[in-house]
Amino acid sequence: MPHFSYQHGELHAENVPLTQIAHQFGTPTYVYSKAALVENFRSYSDACKKHGRGDDGALVCYSVKSNSNIAVLNLLGKLGSGFDIVSGGELLRVLAAGGSPRKVIFSGVGKSREEMCLALSHDILCFNVESIPELHRLNEVAAELGKKAPISLRVNPNVDAKTHPYISTGLKDNKFGVAYEDALETYRVAASLPHIDVTGIDCHIGSQLLDDAPLLEAVDKLIELIDTLAAENIHVHHLDIGGGIGIDYDGDKPVAVGDYLARLFAKIDAWRAAKYDGTPIKVLFEPGRSIVGNAGVLLTEVQFIKHGETKNFAIVDAAMNDLMRPAMYEAWHGVQPVKQRDAATAIYDVVGPVCESGDWLARARELAIEQGDLLAILSAGAYGMTMSSNYNTRGRAAEVMVDGAQVHLIRQRESAADLFALESLLP
């Protein structure tokens, strides 16, 4: 992970030792690198500029669900990012962070009337619509507000992303999107509705993709559909290809963002030159994990070392409520001791204190550790804090951002009193 490295035998975030952060803010704590966030975002924005896509030709819409801290959103917004949201709450986070609603696209299969009204009142860029009933509801809400709702259809191209089934979203049996075979008729319905403005087309086939071949295959199918729509005088002005580029969790070798975008833009440019006299089409992206995933770690302290008959356990103060991915997906996260020891190693399962057998963060890891040591759970910047919960009445972790030699608290640790503040006793 760039910007997290050992210096004199101690793991640092940029120029700050993680021991200092633990002493100052306690554990468990999420630690993010500002430099890593900036570098990862610019891998997209710089590639777009390199291929002649300025603000009018491309828009990187960061996937808010991957990490929604308002300091993260504010930083990315200042870099020019748009935002991909999946709830009204996420829209309010973007606004609180100073993000522009005119750079917001609203995805998700179950948008409520209240969420539609909120988004329309702020004149967001586009709704990614996923069904005909949603089209009709959005048309009704827009009519009540005297507006036209800009939409793209999320088309399900039935392309296998070759990733974990829980994060694959582009196959026929997934709940997301409009089936490719039904897309033309759905666009006809959209074009007929008086308070709907067809502006684009969208797809997102899954997450943690290491190869861009499935993404480029999906783009081929969208291009074919755009040509069919144009023949019926239904014209789209942007092509949203979603996100999904993976990160290195365990020696994974994801495609480089610049290489992927070079192949993508070459394909789009050749198509537009052949069919539309070179008339450009705006390209939207929805990256999340590839921007924030390897920009953060979860810092935790070993509470006890427990030697069992068949296993050794390192019981830490972080748990499945802090980092759900291992329990939910059997996801791999690297584990490193904050201070390197010149001592014998042993094989440990790294587990938390939550009262569930599924409460584990890492299995069968070779570590040289003792009670009281600090561990860093790596690649935890995406889907860590956003998926955390208060199970067992555990307050959610603190979050800090490191900027060079400075550390900023960007979310306070929750107390037990915070957790039941909204509850009431019976009279």
DSSP notation for 233-244: T---SEEE----
Q: Which is the catalytic residue, given 48, 126, 203, 355?
A: 355
360: Cα within 13 Å, side-chain hemisphere: 17
Q: How confident is the model at residue 98 (pLDDT cuts 50, 70, 90)?
A: very high
Q: Phi and psi of 236, rounded to 5°?
A: -105, 150
The answer to whether the beta carbons of residues 79 and 42 sit under 8 Å apart is yes
Q: Phi and psi of 362, rounded to 5°?
A: -160, 145
- Does the annotation place 258 within a ligand binding site? no
Q: How confident is the model at residue 206 (pLDDT cuts 50, 70, 90)?
A: confident
- Report the alpha-carbon angle 349-357-391, nearest 5: 110
Q: How confident is the model at residue 54 (pLDDT cuts 50, 70, 90)?
A: confident
Q: How confident is the model at residue 55 (pLDDT cuts 50, 70, 90)?
A: confident
The answer to whether the beta carbons of residues 17 and 8 sit under 8 Å apart is no
Top CATH class, 34-289: alpha beta
Round to whole Å and give the CA distance between 426 and 51.
63
Segment 14-32 shows an average pLDDT of 98
Q: How confident is the model at residue 170 (pLDDT cuts 50, 70, 90)?
A: very low
DSSP 385-418: GGG---GGGPPPPEEEEEETTEEEEEEPPPPHHH
DSSP 57-99: TEEEEEEGGG---HHHHHHHHHTT-EEEESSHHHHHHHHHTT-
Q: How confident is the model at residue 121 (pLDDT cuts 50, 70, 90)?
A: very high
Residue 159's pLDDT is 80
Top CATH class, 4-32+293-419: mainly beta
203 is catalytic: no
Q: How confident is the model at residue 216 (pLDDT cuts 50, 70, 90)?
A: very high
Residue 181's pLDDT is 93
Residue of 47, 89, 37, 38 lying closest to 68 (CA atoms) = 89
Segment 244-256 shows an average pLDDT of 93
Quick: pLDDT tens for 179-199.
999 999 999 999 999 999 999
Tokens of 100: 């522009």
User: For the whole model, what pTM was predicted?
Assistant: 0.95
Quick: pLDDT tens for 335-359.
999 999 999 999 999 999 999 999 9
Quick: pLDDT tens for 268-302.
999 999 999 999 999 999 999 999 999 999 999 99
Quick: pLDDT tens for 361-402.
999 999 999 999 999 999 999 999 999 999 999 999 999 999
- Does the annotation place 260 within a ligand binding site? no
The answer to whether the beta carbons of residues 178 and 124 sit under 8 Å apart is no
Residue 167's pLDDT is 42
- Does the annotation place 272 within a ligand binding site? no
Residues 6+ apart with CB under 8 A from 10: 17, 18, 19, 338, 339, 340
- Does the annotation place 383 within a ligand binding site? yes
Round to whole Å and give the CA distance between 351 and 375.
12
- Report the alpha-carbon angle 150-156-159, nearest 5: 145
**Where are the domains positioned within the chain?**
4-32+293-419, 34-289
Round to whole Å and give the CA distance between 322 and 28.
8
- Does the annotation place 154 within a ligand binding site? no
For residue 123, pLDDT over 80 is answered with yes
- Does the annotation place 187 within a ligand binding site? no
Terminal C-alpha separation, the chain: 54
* Residue-wise burial string across 192-202, b where 16 or more C-beta atoms lie within 10 A, e elsewhere: ebebbbbbbbb
Residue 165's pLDDT is 53
For residue 77, pLDDT over 60 is answered with yes
Sign, CA dihedral 210-216-219-221, equals: negative
Mean pLDDT, all residues of the chain: 95
